[in-house]
């Protein structure tokens, strides 16, 4: 079937109606940072805090997504770009469903993150830079990936033989090298409250 024969079908329940029912907005908190910076841990800690405040959220985690939706992708530059493109489209669906989406992906290229932002409406994309030095991430090495990369067992590993382009002007920065996970969660919660995006009980 040609793409020309595909027609968009409008939903019977709108994004605005879902937001009104949930009593909060829907948007993407896009966590970006090096492997080992704490993105997944932080994302899940934040999700738990939101859940306990009756805010609908869902975590899209890099490794988890590669177990299913993106299991056909590897770590070449083109596959990394496709990985983020797909996640952007999935995130857009979650935003349309009225949920807060928390993504935890290295997403090393600024261009790819910008393309995700362009998929969404104004104030629906919040870039959160999970800052942590390469030295510290390599010391942590929770999955043993840096060691494998240094031993040339893994190719195209971000920070070693593949670049990471840190955000130039992120909406929010948390530093997991100097802050605990709970301190970082509080910073994000405060940011969302100040932007009137959530009301935490």
CATH superfamily of 22-194: P-loop containing nucleotide triphosphate hydrolases (3.40.50.300)
- pLDDT above 70 covers a percentage of the chain that reads 98
Model confidence pTM above 0.85: yes
- What's the confidence (pLDDT) of residue 121? 96
Both structure tokens of 1:
């079937």
For residue 47, say whether it is annotated as part of any ligand binding site: no
Condensed to tens digits (0 to 9), the pLDDT of residues 26-75 reads 999 999 999 999 999 999 999 999 999 999 999 999 788 888 988 998 88
62 labelled as ligand-binding? no
List of residues 6+ apart from 149 with CB closer than 8 A: 157, 160, 161
Domain ranges of the chain: 22-194
Q: Is there a contact between 162 and 156 (Cβ–Cβ < 8 Å)? A: yes
Paired residues of 172 in beta bridges = 128
Backbone angles phi, psi at 183, to 5 degrees: -65, -40
> Per the residue annotation, which of 97, 107, 133, 184 is the catalytic one?
107
Q: Is 33 annotated as a binding residue?
A: yes
162 carries a ligand binding annotation: no
pLDDT category at 134 given cuts 50, 70, 90 is very high
Which are the contacts of 85, defined by CB distance < 8 A and separation ≥ 6?
Answer: 112, 115, 116
Q: Reply yes or no on whether 97 is catalytic.
A: no
pLDDT at res. 10: 81
pLDDT of res. 185: 98
């Amino acid at each position: 079937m040609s793409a020309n024969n595909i027609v968009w079908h409008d939903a019977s329940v709108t994004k605005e109606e879902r937001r009104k029912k949930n009593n909060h907005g829907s948007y993407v908190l896009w966590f970006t940072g090096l492997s080992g910076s704490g993105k997944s841990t932080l994302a899940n800690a934040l999700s738990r805090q939101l859940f306990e405040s009756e805010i609908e959220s869902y975590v899209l985690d890099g490794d988890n997504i590669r177990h299913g939706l993106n299991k056909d992708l590897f770590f070449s530059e083109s596959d990394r770009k496709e990985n983020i493109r797909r996640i952007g489209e999935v995130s857009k669906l979650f935003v349309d469903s009225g949920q807060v989406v928390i993504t935890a992906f290295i997403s090393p290229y600024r261009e790819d993150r910008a393309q995700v932002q362009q998929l969404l409406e104004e104030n629906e994309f919040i870039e959160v830079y999970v800052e942590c030095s390469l030295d510290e991430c390599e010391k942590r090495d929770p999955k043993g990936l840096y060691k494998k990369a240094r031993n040339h067992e893994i190719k195209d590993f971000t920070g070693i033989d593949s670049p990471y382009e840190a955000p130039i002007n992120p909406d929010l920065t948390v530093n997991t090298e100097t802050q605990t996970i709970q301190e970082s969660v509080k910073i994000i919660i405060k940011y969302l409250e100040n932007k009137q995006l959530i009301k935490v009980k």
